[in-house]
């Protein structure tokens, strides 16, 4: 794919996930399979979204084997729409899994290799660009150690099945623990203007260590702050989602965004947020200081 810096997704600049340089505005594949009402999304529509994302300059896509609904699988859609991938960087998550009924389970360290190999098969790759070790159940973070699982992935990295490693759904002490085992190129947590602001500390930790912070659900709806978001959106003739994405990207050059959608128009709006520049007045309004 082209690396033309005039493409919309490049407007917020780039960051390196280890050996992979990506545009800070990327794409999350979780919403490709289902419609908002829980139905199965049209396959060709999902493929069109992926191809349009790349046309707009997206070169970082986040996925997982457990992203499936009915006959739709995010990995299969990515493979069908975009392989061979060129300079596209694909990040996936391991740790959580889903059985044939769709029920979630947490993989033991000795099951992680099978999850890595399943990603490789579905995506048609010889190695994973970035594998994030995700801990905890749902959005509840694990309080214990991640050493055994992350250590197992570090061994697979040494064997050449994974190029770079990240961690997901973690607390600050997990990042410290992981760095004692192997290099960490990204931390992927729920985070946004009105969500999980306790992770401001991890955002700072990542900045100090040159590690990407990659929030998911950054556009999740808020409560009392919605009026502030709407006010800033009016100032810029933008959507509230674009303002939330712009706020996310403003948190530091190491902060990436991976908004997901199954709709081409919504995708184009999300990518356009890479060019939205918030003023100091905007930021004060959003933070409740104005």
Residues with a catalytic annotation lie at 67
Count CB-CB contacts under 10 A for residue 106. Answer: 14
C-alpha count within 13 angstroms, C-beta hemisphere, residue 73 = 16
Q: Rounded CA gap, 22 and 66, in Å?
A: 24
Q: Is 78 exposed, middle or buried (0-12, 13-18, 19+ CB in 10 A)?
A: buried
CB 61 within 8 A of CB 89: yes
Q: Rounded CA gap, 105 and 102, in Å?
A: 10
- Name the DSSP letter for residue 125: -
């Amino acid at each position: 794919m082209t690396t033309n810096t005039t493409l919309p997704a490049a407007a917020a600049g780039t960051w390196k996930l280890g050996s992979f340089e990506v545009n800070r505005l990327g794409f999350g594949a979780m919403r490709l399979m289902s419609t908002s009402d829980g139905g199965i999304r049209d396959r060709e529509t999902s493929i069109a979204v992926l191809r349009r994302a790349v046309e707009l300059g997206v070169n970082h896509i986040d996925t997982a084997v457990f992203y499936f609904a009915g006959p739709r699988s995010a990995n299969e859609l990515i493979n069908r729409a975009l392989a061979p991938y060129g300079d596209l960087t694909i990040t996936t998550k391991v740790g959580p899994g889903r059985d044939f009924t769709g029920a979630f389970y947490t993989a033991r360290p000795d099951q992680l290799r099978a999850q890595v190999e399943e990603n490789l098969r579905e995506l048609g790759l010889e190695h994973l660009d970035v594998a994030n070790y995700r801990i905890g159940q749902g959005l509840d973070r694990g309080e214990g150690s991640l050493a055994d699982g992350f250590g197992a992935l570090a061994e697979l990295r040494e064997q050449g099945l994974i190029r770079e490693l990240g961690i997901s759904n973690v607390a600050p002490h997990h990042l410290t623990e992981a760095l004692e085992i192997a290099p960490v190129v990204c931390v992927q947590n729920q985070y946004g203007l009105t969500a999980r602001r306790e992770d401001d500390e991890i955002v700072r930790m990542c900045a100090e260590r040159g590690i990407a912070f990659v929030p998911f659900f950054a556009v999740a709806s808020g409560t009392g702050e919605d009026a502030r978001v709407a006010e800033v959106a009016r100032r810029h003739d933008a959507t509230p989602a674009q303002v939330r994405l712009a706020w996310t990207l403003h948190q530091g050059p190491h902060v990436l965004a991976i908004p997901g959608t199954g709709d081409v128009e919504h995708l184009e709006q999300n990518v356009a947020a890479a060019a939205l520049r918030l003023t100091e007045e905007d930021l004060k309004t959003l933070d409740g200081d104005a």
